[in-house]
Amino acid sequence: MKTKTMLFIAILSLTIGNLAAQQINSAKTHNFNLEESIKYAYEHQTSILNAALDQKIADAKTKETIGIGLPQISGNANFNDFIKLPTSLLPGEFFNQPAGTVVPVQFGVKYNSSLGVTANQLLFSGSYLVGLQASKTFKELSLRAYTRSKIETYVAVSKAYYMVLVGNKQLDLLDANVNQLKKALDQTKALFDNGFAEKLDADRLTVLYNNLITEKQNVLRSLALGTEMLKFQMGMPIEETLNIEGKIEDVKLDRMMINQDSTTYKNRIEYGLSETKLKLNELDLKRYKSEYLPSLSAFGSTSVQYQNNSFRELYKTSFPTTVVGLQLSVPIFSGFQKSNRVKQAQFTVQKSQNDLLNMKNVINIDIKSSITNYTNSITSLSNQQRNLELANEILRVSKIKYEQGVGSSIEVTQAQTSLKEAENNYINALYDALINKIDTEKATGIIK
């Protein structure tokens, strides 16, 4: 019994292991550059997928509004079984009875049935005409909202992608620094073993080396987290693997020519959205004003009546009825409701106009601010790059002096510390420049 149990557990463990291995192997691996990452996000990011669905909703809403002006046709059928026929009271004089008396009389038959078709056609309605315009504008609004979702996704994916590239660059610098420091540490230990260096010299370098190893481990963890953040921005399942292709050197960082004329703000999708909202509110005002106009519609109906006291004979005899006509509705007085709705719509239009003007000012400030930040970050990056080159040169000279016995280990340690600080400053300046580049492209409407 014990042997069978052990065998069952072994088989179960093997099966679970195989299933887990299959799941791991079935997870997809993606090798993407920035353009491919953005393309993937356009196809999988939830916000864009929902914005595309909003477009379809707006399209269906437009067709629904158009349908109001098309013929409205409905059919009807009914069957009645009068268990007790209704009774009416007629004057007795009709039946040679004394004046002042009434005689109960039942009209109709026990079974009654009808079949009919009714059609209505709207001929004129001011509200309907305005509604058609509003539905098309609403469709335009959904398209602009879709574009805004694409722009926001582009920005989010680009920033997350650049964060990973900067992390990779930082890791490369750390690896070079670690290898360089390891050689210096080994040389110092060898000198110490031979009595040409103090133990303190080796200890100083060991402290720096341990700090670099710790920093490298932190960067590796941050890099893994940054990759997961990029996958999230792309809408990629967390269990799939993403490998980034490309290097930070492939990204052009320069003082690009930015269009800063007086109409640059119109390139921003936010301004277009505000314009469309203003247009919708103006159409809303127009719709309330159109309620003062009369509406005209045509109608027609045809039906067949069946009546008989015998159910079997009910559908043998029919009594057709057909009617057509026009219906004119003229508003006369509504207790000032229409005029107050018009006033509310007018105030709403004024608010939208104010919002549009404010949006223009906000965008112009954003453009100037982003360009200034980007220009400053490019200058800072250039300075930090020179500082990094200078720190490398200082370390190189310090090592040569120390090896030739004309310098101290403290100079080497200080140079190594300065190099690490210069690398951190360079990485921070590089990341700021990349982020400000994206912000400037968004602010000036370059990203579509």
- Mark the ranges of the chain whose per-residue pLDDT is less than 70: 1-27, 196, 255-260
- Token digits for 83? 């268990």
What's the pLDDT score for residue 4?
46
- Token digits for 381? 């990056």
What's the pLDDT score for residue 8?
45
Residue among 125, 228, 218 nearest 424 (CA): 218
Domain boundaries, the chain: 28-82+123-295+334-443
Beta strand extents in 269-329 (DSSP E only)? 295-308, 319-329
pLDDT tens digits for 396-422? 898 888 778 777 778 888 888 898 899
What CATH number does domain 28-82+123-295+334-443 carry, 3.30.1490.20, 1.20.1600.10, 1.20.1250.20, 3.40.5.50? 1.20.1600.10
d(CA 198, CA 192): 6
Total-model pTM: 0.82
d(CA 194, CA 221): 39
Write down the residue that tokens 């590796």 correspond to.
Answer: 220
What's the pLDDT score for residue 14?
52
